[in-house]
Amino acid sequence: MKIVNLKNPVMASWLREQGLRLDAPPFLSGAIEARKLLEQLPVKKEPLASLTTGHNGGIFNGPKFARTYVDDPEYGVPFVGSSDMLQADLSRLPLLGKKDAYSPALSYLRLEEGMTLISCSGTIGRMVYVRSDMAGMWSSQHIMKVVPYPERILPGYLYAFLSSKFGESLVVGGTYGAIIQHIEPHHITNLPVPRLGEAVETRAHELVQEAAAQRSKAATLRAEALAIVVEELGWREPAKRSIYTSVSSLLLTRRMDAFHHSSPVVAAKKTLASHLTSIPLGDKVAEVFEPNRGARRKVSDPAYGVPFLSSSEMFHLDPQGDYLISLRTPNLERLLIGSSDVLLPRSGQLGGIIGRAVLPLPGNYGHAASEHLVRVRCKSPGDALYVWSILASEPGYFASIGTAFVSSIPSLACVLLHELKVPWFTGAKRSQIEEIAAKMVTLLASAIEKDHEAVRAVESAIEEAA
């Protein structure tokens, strides 16, 4: 439960400044408190709108529109939603038809490097800095774009301020709507941006830029590692996907669900099993298991708990637990994750995150992760890097979700994953895959630290000047 800061209570003058607005968000978010602190700073403050440029003055979202998706990249552009923008891997985005994307009504939704993206509907105030691998994608109407005017402010500094505790409070303070919350561009046009001096602003900008470059490089390395796996396996996904599946009745003795017998799944399992080194996954790893389910005992003191990460959070650019769970949680050790783990979301709709292999980042080692994540616990960190590359490849993904059962909300079967035959490369190719994957993890972890350092630099400068 949130309460207002009792050391700095709401004043009647604040209510008048808010147009006698009586809903809680501006006050519980700390927006008014942050604005008052910034007003007292002995530095120049400039309204956000004076530092932006482009469509609608440089602060905009987009219209509601019917989305026409396509399968062929030749006819579409990657389309980023407010949840997608938080993902570390953007290789699986849906494709919005180019005819719509390039139309006068939507062409301005194209992302450009250096923009700050803000989720403006639902979960308000989540922010992402547009890096080079995102440039040229299109965004949904649920994302607000802030386009910096480079001659007036450094893009990285603007992002660092807006994502700081002061900037975020001001952005979230503009929220309206009781059930589905929103913010609109005009709510933040007058947001005061403090000018903290060339040294602070340049340092913050450089750190954010370095983080963006590292994330783009990590995306390239991810694609490179998976391309090696696909090439080594000789994987060629069936070009045509029929709307029905025809199989021998002899194959229906154990599984009768159509997806299990679909051509991509059958072809993927065959490809993984046909390599000379293929062996059941369970024979090469320590364990494949799903942690025990149970009540999550939440605590507020870090001395008595560990961060708890949801299955969707593990795919974010900066995975962070929403809360802490008690160190006395039964079977807590089964929930903790480390460098030898590969994680696969256990359940969900096919085509979503179910079965998508992900590696925990160093900053999350020792944290607890949801029981909805299947653990493939390997015998070494090197094995985990390799197993991830196999399961994250296209054939590995299809083979993994081919183990899912139940029609309404499919769920992976640990027993079938244990039995899944996978290639076990050795020699130079194996070393190359591990080396590339290790660099990817290092870059993603470093990018998080640089983002945090940039925000800390801005927050410290504001607090010291206050």
Does residue 354 share a domain with residue 263?
yes
One domain, residues 340 and 284: yes
Kindly state whether residues 51 and 172 are assigned to the same domain: yes
Asked if residue 266 and residue 172 are part of one domain, the reply reads: no
Name the domain count of the chain.
Answer: 2
Assess if residue 293 is contained within a domain: yes
DSSP 302: G
User: 12 lies in a domain?
Assistant: no
Same domain, 169 and 300: no
pTM above 0.85, yes or no: yes
Q: Let me know if residue 151 belongs to a domain.
A: yes
Residue 22 lies in a domain: no
Residue for token digits 């293929």? 278
Cβ 396 vs Cβ 424: under 8 Å: no
Same domain, 155 and 297: no
Domain of residue 370, residue span: 217-239+252-442
Please, is 149 exposed, middle or buried when counting C-beta atoms within 10 Å of its C-beta (0-12, 13-18, 19+)?
A: middle
Q: Largest alpha-carbon pair distance within the chain?
A: 80
In whole angstroms, what separates CA 108 from the centre of its chain?
A: 24
- Examine residue 26 and state whether it is found in any structural domain, yes or no: no
Q: Which of 183, 173, 89 is nearest to 440 (CA)?
A: 89
CB 389 within 8 A of CB 433: yes
In a domain, 461, yes or no: no
Q: What is the pLDDT of residues 303-318, one digit of tens each?
A: 999 999 999 999 999 9
- Tens of pLDDT, residue by residue, the chain (466 residues): 344 555 556 666 555 555 545 555 555 545 677 777 888 888 999 999 999 999 999 999 988 888 999 989 999 999 999 899 999 999 999 999 999 999 999 999 999 999 999 998 777 889 999 999 999 999 999 999 999 999 999 999 999 999 999 999 888 876 554 434 678 898 899 999 999 999 999 999 999 999 999 999 999 999 999 999 999 999 887 655 555 566 655 555 566 566 666 778 888 999 999 988 999 999 999 999 999 888 888 999 999 999 999 999 999 999 998 899 999 999 899 999 999 999 999 988 877 889 999 999 999 999 999 999 999 999 999 999 999 999 999 999 999 998 888 767 888 989 999 999 999 999 999 999 999 999 999 999 999 999 999 999 999 999 998 7
- Looking at the structure, do residues 65 and 114 belong to the same domain, yes or no? yes
Six-digit token pair at 371?
A: 């029981």
CATH of the domain at 263: 3.90.220.20
Are residue 168 and residue 229 in the same domain, yes or no? no
39: exposed, middle or buried (C-beta count within 10 Å: 0-12, 13-18, 19+)?
exposed
Residues 377 and 424 in one domain: yes
Residue 36 lies in a domain: no
Residue written as token pair 């160093």 = 362
Asked if residue 429 and residue 318 are part of one domain, the reply reads yes
Same domain, 347 and 272: yes
Look at residue 125 in the predicted model and tell me its pLDDT. Answer: 85
CA distance 359 to 339: 8
Rounded CA gap, 213 and 265, in Å?
Answer: 36
Residue 4 lies in a domain: no
Beta partners for residue 77, in sequence order: 96
Q: Are residues 189 and 275 in the same domain?
A: no
Dump strand ranges (E) for 367-438: 368-369, 373-377, 421-422
